[in-house]
Structure 1
Amino acid sequence: MQRVLLLSFSTLVSDPRVRRHALALADSYYVVTAGYGEAPGYGNEHIQIPRPTPTCYFKKFLKAVFLLLRVYSPVYWLDDDKRAALKLLKSLEAFDLVIANDAPSLPVAFFSAGTSVPVVADMHEFAPGEQLPGWKWNLFWKGYPQYLCRRFLPRANHVLTVCDSIAELYRQEFLVTLPGVLMNCPSYLEAVPKEVGEKIRLIHHGAGCPSRKLELMAEAALLLDERFEFDFMLVESDSAYCSWLKETYEGQRIRFREPVPMPLISEVLNRDYDIGVFLLEPEAISYKYALPNKLFEFMQARLAVVVSPNHEMARLVRSTSVGVVSEDFSSASLARAINALDEATIMSMKRASAVAAQRYCAETVYSDFKRLADAFTR
Structure 2
Amino acid sequence: MQMRSLEVIEMRRVLMLCNDRQIDRRIILQADSLQEAGWQVTILAMPLDEAGAPDDSRVLRIGSASEAAARRENRVLEFYRLVRRYLPMNGWFMRLLKSAAWRFIVDQERFYLNLFLATGRRHLAEVVVAHDLPMLAVGRALAAEFGARLVYDSHELYCEQEFARWQRATWAQIEQRHISACDRVITVNPSIAGELQRRYGLARVSVIHNAERIGPLPPRSNYLHEHFGIAAGQRILLFQGGLSAGRHLGQLVQAMALLKSSDVHLVLLGDGQLAEALQRTVVRLRLQDRVHLHRAVPQARLLSISSAADAGIIPYQPICLNNYYCTPNKLFEFIAAGLPILASDLPELRRLVHDQQIGKVEDLSSVARLAAAIDDLFADRPRLQAWRNTVEQVRQTQSWQCEGEKLKQIYEELR
TM-score bracket, shorter-length normalisation: 0.7 to 0.9
Out of 367-376 and 54-63, give the one that drifted further: 54-63
Structure 2 matches for 1:16-27, cutoff 5 A? 16-27=25-36
Matched, 1:207 2:245: no
Given that 2:196 and 2:202 are in contact with CA atoms closer than 8 Å, whether structure 1 keeps it comes out as: no
Q: Indicate the SS of the match to 2:20.
A: strand
Residues 12, 373 of structure 1: alpha-carbon distance in 2 compared, 3 angstrom cutoff: farther
Matched, 1:105 2:142: no
Q: What residue in structure 2 maps to residue 7 of structure 1?
A: 17
Q: What residue in structure 1 maps to residue 62 of structure 2?
A: 48
Q: Of 185, 199, 220, which residue of structure 1 is paired with 2:255?
A: 220
Given that 1:309 and 1:325 are in contact with CA atoms closer than 8 Å, whether structure 2 keeps it comes out as: yes
- Output the CA distance in 2 between the equivalents of 1:222 and 1:109: 49
Residues 204, 64 of structure 1: alpha-carbon distance in 2 compared, 3 angstrom cutoff: closer
Q: What residue in structure 1 maps to residue 109 of structure 2?
A: 76
Q: What residue in structure 2 maps to residue 70 of structure 1?
A: none
- Letter of the 1:269 partner, please give it: S
- Output the CA distance in 2 between the equivalents of 1:195 and 1:122: 36
- Letter of the 1:46 partner, please give it: L
Q: What residue in structure 2 maps to residue 152 of structure 1?
A: 178
- Output the CA distance in 2 between the equivalents of 1:64 and 1:195: 49
- Output the CA distance in 1 between the equivalents of 2:137 and 2:369: 44
Q: Indicate the SS of the match to 2:413.
A: helix
Q: What residue in structure 2 maps to residue 31 of structure 1?
A: 41
Q: What residue in structure 2 maps to residue 279 of structure 1?
A: 315
Out of 211-220 and 331-340, give the one that drifted further: 331-340
State the Cα deviation string for residues 110-150 of structure 1 (Å, max 9, x = none): 11111621011001111221124xxxx12x32321111110
- How far 1:65 moved relative to its partner? 4.8
Given that 1:100 and 1:122 are in contact with CA atoms closer than 8 Å, whether structure 2 keeps it comes out as: yes
- How far 1:318 moved relative to its partner? 1.1
Residues 335, 58 of structure 1: alpha-carbon distance in 2 compared, 3 angstrom cutoff: closer
Out of 213-222 and 163-172, give the one that drifted further: 213-222
Structure 2 matches for 1:195-344, cutoff 5 A? 198-224=233-259, 225-236=261-272, 238=273, 241-250=274-283, 251-270=288-307, 272-340=308-376, 341=378, 342-344=380-382
- Output the CA distance in 2 between the equivalents of 1:349 and 1:109: 43
Given that 1:24 and 1:370 are in contact with CA atoms closer than 8 Å, whether structure 2 keeps it comes out as: yes
Q: What residue in structure 2 maps to residue 168 of structure 1?
A: 194
- Output the CA distance in 1 between the equivalents of 2:144 and 2:326: 33
- Where do 5+ consecutive residues of structure 1 fail to align? 68-73
Out of 151-160 and 339-348, give the one that drifted further: 339-348
Matched, 1:114 2:131: no
TM-score by length of 1: 0.88
- Output the CA distance in 1 between the equivalents of 2:324 and 2:57: 33
State the Cα deviation string for residues 84-106 of structure 1 (Å, max 9, x = none): 311011133x2011111000001
Given that 2:186 and 2:207 are in contact with CA atoms closer than 8 Å, whether structure 1 keeps it comes out as: yes
Residues 109, 40 of structure 1: alpha-carbon distance in 2 compared, 3 angstrom cutoff: farther
Given that 2:159 and 2:167 are in contact with CA atoms closer than 8 Å, whether structure 1 keeps it comes out as: no
- Where do 5+ consecutive residues of structure 2 fail to align? 1-10, 79-97, 223-231
Percent sequence identity over aligned pairs: 22
After superposition, the CA RMSD in angstroms is: 2.5
- Output the CA distance in 2 between the equivalents of 1:109 and 1:58: 23
- How far 1:358 moved relative to its partner? 0.4
TM-score by length of 2: 0.80
